[in-house]
Amino acid sequence: MRIVSAHEGTIPISSSMSNAFIDFSQMDCSVLALVSDVVVDGKPLVGYGFNSNGRYSAGEILRRRILPRLMAAPADDLLDEAGGLSPSAAWDVMMRNEKPGGHGERSVAVGVVDMALHDLAAKVAGVPLHRWIAEHYGDGTSDESVFVYAAGGYYAPGKTHADLQAEMRGFLDAGYEVVKMKIGNDLVDDLRRIEAVLEVLGGDGSRLAVDVNGRFDLDAALLYAREIEQYGLFWYEEVGDPLDFHLNATLAEHYRGPIATGENLFSLQDARNLVRYAGLRPDRDWIQVDPALGYGLVEYRRIQDMLAQHGWSSRRCIPHGGHQFSLHIAAALKLGGNESYPGEFQPTGGFADDAVVEGGRVRLDDRPGIGFEGKAAFIEVLRALHA
Ligand SMILES: O=C([O-])CC(=O)C(=O)O
Ligand SMILES: [Mg+2]
């Protein structure tokens, strides 16, 4: 098989909300279609990818470096020994003449292509991606359903505590059991917001995660830690700068509850430094590396191998991003779960339109590949790329 053409574009996923570090008024996203020469029912199979959320589109890198290398490679360089499309062989091609370190947003560009390659490989095999992953990289089996938590609770102009409560109630009504909200703007107001959400959760802090988005210095991290420890929260997320491992290690000495971080670490090397130096505790903390932002699933598997060598279970990983790609990865690599954005980051965010969350878990469906075809508003955008 051969990739006949690559079609890359940028779409807005902007909104009026903000976290403690950025607003999303200018947020956008790279999207990609890889058209193959494999024809089924009179149509070529096409693999689709996009770059999760939270980092801007990476079109320049895709257009100038990554896609030209992919498209110039002899077809055989992208295949495995059995003649199937090999995302790991393609990874080596895409990363030719790229120095180590300084991963920046190159990892985002490679992640978009890696997602499309995996979508295509599974479609060629005629199976849902989780099955393809389980067969090629896993133990041959996937979890039938995946734990998901509902992420939201953003700051937004005019948003009241009652609005926040209504949002969280909506998540519970939709079948979620754990919810996440943003904190980090103002201690007094944040404590009131947390208590408002706890009211909706019947006072059960173990069902509420809070996310600082990297805003705090060490003093603020410890101050908030002292204030929120009493609630017994699900986790305290990305408290300081993603690369400030010392801050995280000091926090872990003082805060007994679970800590989550890693959504802004984009490489094996960064994830390894996190595990080596950030004081994370394999019995309670969570690693949130997002395969779409961090060089794709090929790199994410290397991260999983590294974690296993350091005594970490894959069940301690719950990727950031709330996308369908990670949902398949979570099922096939037996992760702890996956993020979900029931309301945000449209049209890319969320799972298939017919996905049902029950008891805080979502079942995988049988659509071939990642299954963007089951997400009407998004597949329309993706198909327009190669129409
Ligand atoms: O607000 C964001 O950038 C998204 C985020 O941190 C998350 O989903 O954990
Ligand atoms: Mg986060």
Domains in the chain: ranges and CATH: 3-126 (3.30.390.10), 145-373 (3.20.20.120)
State which H helix or E strand residue 27 sits in.
none
What pTM did the predictor assign?
0.97
The predicted complex's ipTM stands at 0.99
Residue with token string 């990874």: 91
CA distances for 150 relative to 164, 337, 351, angstroms? 13, 11, 12
Whether 253 and 283 have beta carbons less than 8 Å apart is answered as no
The residues placing their C-beta within 5 Å of ligand 2, an ion, are 211, 238
Tens of pLDDT, residues 137-196:
999 999 999 999 999 999 999 999 999 999 999 999 999 999 999 999 999 999 999 999
With a CB cutoff of 8 Å and minimum separation 6, the contacts of 354 are 365, 374
- The lowest-confidence range among 12-26, 185-199, 213-227 is 12-26
pLDDT at position 344, please? Answer: 87
Q: Report which DSSP code applies to 86.
A: -
Number of helices and strands (H, E) in the chain? 13, 12
Question: Mapping DSSP to helix (H, G, I), strand (E, B) and coil, where does residue 46 land?
Answer: strand
Tens of pLDDT, residues 261-282:
999 999 999 999 999 999 999 9
Please identify, by atom number, the ligand 1 atom nearest to the C-alpha of residue 321. Answer: 8
Residue with token string 């659509």: 367
Cα of 1 from ligand 2 centre, angstroms? 39
Cα of 263 from ligand 2 centre, angstroms? 6
- Residue closest by Cα to atom 2 of ligand 1: 54
The pick from 29, 51, 320, 339 for probing ligand 1's pocket by mutation, whose C-beta has the most ligand atoms within 8 angstroms, reads 320
Tens of pLDDT, residues 302-348:
999 999 999 999 999 999 999 999 999 999 999 999 999 998 899 99
Binding-site residues, ligand 1, Cβ < 6 A: 19, 54, 151, 211, 213, 263, 320, 339
Tens of pLDDT, residues 51-91:
999 999 999 999 999 999 999 999 999 999 999 999 999 99
CA distances for 262 relative to 174, 326, 375, angstroms? 27, 15, 28
